[in-house]
Structure 1
């Protein structure tokens, strides 16, 4: 697609894991300079206790991204429960010059009346919900990772002012809890967790009792063990009205991931070659696209060549 108005775009989701400030600063500097993504989400969506460790570098990250021409989106928490967490969201909404991404329904009243984004952690399953969100001011709606292609295709014609986005790469977020699994695994409480989640920069793999890969733990969040990879499904998704694709950051080369997706979207690379490129970047990972095909999420469904 050569028309910029209809050209599919890429969004880099916020880092879900507990990365140190120096790593975050260097990561986003490279994204700003090299990654072919139009939007970049920053901020803390999982656990508010992590934010003080990198809060000081966030303004520089935002300015660097904006200077490179990226649209910056500030992501809110998925499960705000404390007064200070609600105050954090108030602060985000009051920030000028950037879009805010709501990841919990408590943000609706705060964001109403101003342009904003809806994150993939809010369930948008039908046209009534989509119409309500657009009326509130949503200009970008990231659909839940478990949504099948048939449901996306049914929803897309009803999008009047918002771009619809699919979760296209990275461990799928499955659940969020008030309890911290990471802390419990290490024998400490949530209140004195010692930030043990910083030991697992892509999440902590969890096996079944039989030793089979099952899930991944990220603090209070549960993720899939397999990495979602829809690079082979991009053309089908675009044909059914999906205008943007979200890449969730992991410790692999995310610039190379973004470039592979961009090349497939632009027709510079066929999907099979794109899949080979992604596999080479994560040789130990399992990939899955079951959700988009209406199958169990951990399955890998081969996509017929066009």
Structure 2
């Protein structure tokens, strides 16, 4: 294993949901002014049709984040199916001097070996893949949230030429589709969706026939109904060589969430207090950490008893 990094840092991932433009702008303004995160990823990742909601505000957001000393990374689309989407990714990569986070392998050819970030939607499941991506310019790899601890340790120890990040907080992205189940659930088709995904700023819960919580729809994306929360696991992850921890924005007080993780990384609070505080900030969604413990993703593994309990519905 690697030695524990001297310092760990927090990354704020891109907003994965459709928020109206002013809300999106004000969210990042507050992140710039108040949140203890060193890197902020911005840009549309899920659906290109949402771009016109945020594009009028991007310049102001970038200016505010830069003035606050945040490292700004631009995310690409996770699924490119149209020429205009391909052109959007091409224009983004050509125009920016900032790091770009590749959310789809199609972006790698356009990045052409320049330094970049690999996002959690790209499947990096072994060290050989990590080494290949590093050789093509990857500076940071945010590993997929479904990886267990054993896999993370193996990758980080066998491919040391890149920084590793894990998905520490947020509903986990599970799949993305060319079709929009979110629109379909409300009687629309993707081409005439009327942006109904904006009606659920934290995703649309999906339940089984017996009313058990199952998944969350976010436009063309499928997400976990639970919220990943890695707290007791952070020391082991740092020892394994993970130096960055990603907080994925939810419709809650993300400044408070960032404060919890900053306190946790600085050893100002114990993991149990961190879990309690996060539960107060984001009370409606059950927490989970099952994937890291090689269990079902919706499970919660308690350190004290080293047992697994199914997340509450």
Provide TM-score, normalisation by structure 1.
0.96
Give the CA deviation at 1:304: 3.7
Q: Is the 8 A contact 2:128 2:159 kept in 1?
A: no
Flag as ranges the 4+ runs of structure 1 deviating above 4 A: none
- Residue in structure 2 matched with residue 92 of structure 1 by the alignment: 92
- Aligned-partner Cα distance in 2 for 1:92–1:160: 29
1:186 is matched with 186
Q: In the alignment, does 2:157 pair up with 1:133?
A: no
Aligned partner of residue 170 in structure 1, secondary structure: strand
Q: Show structure 1 runs of 5+ residues with no match.
A: none
Name the counterpart of 2:241: 241
Any idea what the Cα deviations from partners look like across 1:1-58, whole Å, max 9, x if unmatched?
xxxx731111100000000110011100010011111110100000000001210101
- Does the 8 Å CA contact 1:102/1:108 hold for their aligned counterparts? yes
The structural deviation recorded for 1:158 is: 2.8
Is 1:169 the counterpart of 2:169 in the alignment?
A: yes
Partner of 1:264: 264
- 1:93 and 1:6 map into 2 onto residues whose CA distance is 32
Q: Partners in 1 of 2:132 and 2:195 — Cα distance?
A: 38
Q: Please name the residue that 2:111 is paired with.
A: 111
Contact 2:226 2:298 in 1 (8 A): yes
Deviations 1:220-252 (A, max 9, x none): 000000011102211121111111111000111
SS at structure 2 position matched to 1:28: helix
* C-alpha displacement of 1:161: 3.1
RMSD of aligned residue pairs (Cα, Å): 1.3
Counterpart in the other structure of 1:278:
278
Which ranges in structure 2 are unaligned for 5 or more consecutive residues?
306-313
Residue 93 of structure 1: how far off its partner (Å): 0.8
Aligned to 2:214: 214
Instruction: Tell me the distance in 2 between the aligned counterparts of 1:229 and 1:160.
Output: 25
Determine the C-alpha separation between the residues in 1 that align with 2:284 and 2:243: 30
Greater shift in the superposed pair: 286-295 or 235-244 = 235-244
Give the conservation status (yes or no) of the 8 Å contact 1:290–1:297: yes
Q: Is the 8 A contact 1:232 1:274 kept in 2?
A: no
Shift in Å, 1:63:
1.4
Alignment of 1:42-61 (within 5 A): 42-61=42-61
Superposed CA offset, 1:134-168 (max 9, x none): 11111010000100011001111233332101111
1:16-35 to 2 correspondence within 5 Å?
16-35=16-35
Q: TM-score, normalised by structure 2?
A: 0.94
Where does 1:74-89 land on structure 2 (aligned, <5 Å)? 74-89=74-89
Q: Partner of 2:72 in structure 1?
A: 72
Aligned 8 A contact 1:143 1:167 in 2: yes
